[in-house]
A and B are shown apart, each in its own frame.
Chain A
Amino acid sequence: MTGTADGADLAAWIRLAAERAAADAGRLTSLDAAIGDGDHGLNLDRGLAAAVAALPDGAPPGKVLTAAGRAVVSKTGGASGPLYGTALRRAGKAFGDADPIDAAALGAGLRAALDGVRELGQAAGGDKTMVDALIPAVASYDAALAAGTGLAGCARAAADGAAQGADATVPMQARKGRASYLGERSIGHMDPGAASTALILRALADTLTERD
């Protein structure tokens, strides 16, 4: 089966991502404490909890993500708020009124999210940011889609790509954000934004996999 996702599936994703962000807040914050300002876990937990509270009932996928994105922007408090909020809103806009969305549409949404984050944060691949998780996520998703993989399988490919991308940030020297002030001392730590991107995309893959 190739599979589709409706608004309820995407709402279930946001709920699972919020649960995992809450459970993992300590790890994300300690990653951030090493090279950032030590608030990423707390901020993401707060932002995604606000997104869960803002989830509309019975709405199409695009509306679910734009509502979640608005809440993340307004409630997160750190740089991840505008970035994740933009990612969710751009993906939601890319879906338009489609209901349900298919694997091609989800891929287009993921790419729109990457483009939005790159545009807002002005970060490129290799800068040691969430972009380093999103680029391989999009590439893996697209490769899986081109190979005829179904929706959940494409989402798993994206999650795997994001996890590998997050791991690959460890030896990088940061060129964006607070970590960039540390120069070479930023080397040897995983970027917290790349780590949380991997967490959020794993939640998407697991939501779609468990449902099927």
Chain B
Amino acid sequence: MVGIVLVSHSRALAEGTAEVARAMGVGKAVVEPAGGDPDGGLGTSPELVGRAIEAAGDGDGVVLLADLGSSVLTAKLALEDAADVPGGLVLADAPLVEGAIAAASMAAAGAGLEGVLAAAESARDHRKT
């Protein structure tokens, strides 16, 4: 199954978003949070992102979602080593919460990397008003 990694400035935000996304992925989707710095403070950590990518991957590829700023930059740096991730590693151009839920739903339905990425990115257009 395609894995999902959530890169955020906050451990709580990443974990909470992962919790919601896993529920939307009917308990099957693999969603790994990578939020905050290694000490639990606000920030982004390439080390935590790297570990989450390893944990989320089972050979079918991994989709990254990031909140903003340094999370996006850290996710982009992780892409430099994408060749080392079995099945591929991509960054979704999507809002974190909506994208994570869309990606988890699609991953749980058995879609491939391209399908999960497209689902995440389609979440950009979900209007609320």
Contact = CB atoms under 8 A, between A and B. Distances in A.
Give chain B's interface secondary structure class. Answer: helix
B69 to A, nearest CB: 5
A74 B73 contact: no
Contacts of A177: 69
B76 A78 contact: no
Interface in B37-64: 37, 43-47
Interface string B72-84: 0110110000000
A94 interface: no
Give chain A's interface secondary structure class. Answer: helix
B19 to A, nearest CB: 25
Contacts of B70: 77-82
Interface-central residue, B43, B46, B73, by most chain A CB under 10 Å: B73
Interface in B75-97: 76-77
A74 B70 CA distance: 12
A77 B73 contact: no
Interface residues of B, number: 12
Interface residues of A, number: 15
B117 to A, nearest CB: 19
Interface string A62-89: 0000000000011001111111011000
B77 A73 contact: yes
A178 interface: yes
Nearest to A176: B69
Given A74-B46, A77-B43, A78-B43, A120 B37 contact: no
B43 A121 contact: no
A107 B43 CA distance: 33
A121 B69 CA distance: 9
Which A-B residue pairs are the 4 nearest by beta carbons? Answer: A77-B43, A82-B73, A79-B70, A79-B69
Contact of B44 (A77, A83, A121): A77
Interface of A: 73-74, 77-83, 85-86, 120-121, 177-178
A120 B73 contact: yes
Nearest to B68: A178
A175 B37 CA distance: 26
B43 A82 contact: no
Nearest to B70: A79
B72 to A, nearest CB: 8
A178 B45 contact: no
Contacts of B45: 74, 77
A192 B81 CA distance: 30
Given A77-B45, A82-B76, 18 more contacts: A73-B46, A74-B45, A74-B46, A77-B43, A77-B44, A78-B44, A79-B69, A79-B73, A80-B70, A81-B44, A81-B70, A81-B73, A81-B74, A82-B70, A120-B73, A120-B76, A120-B77, A121-B73
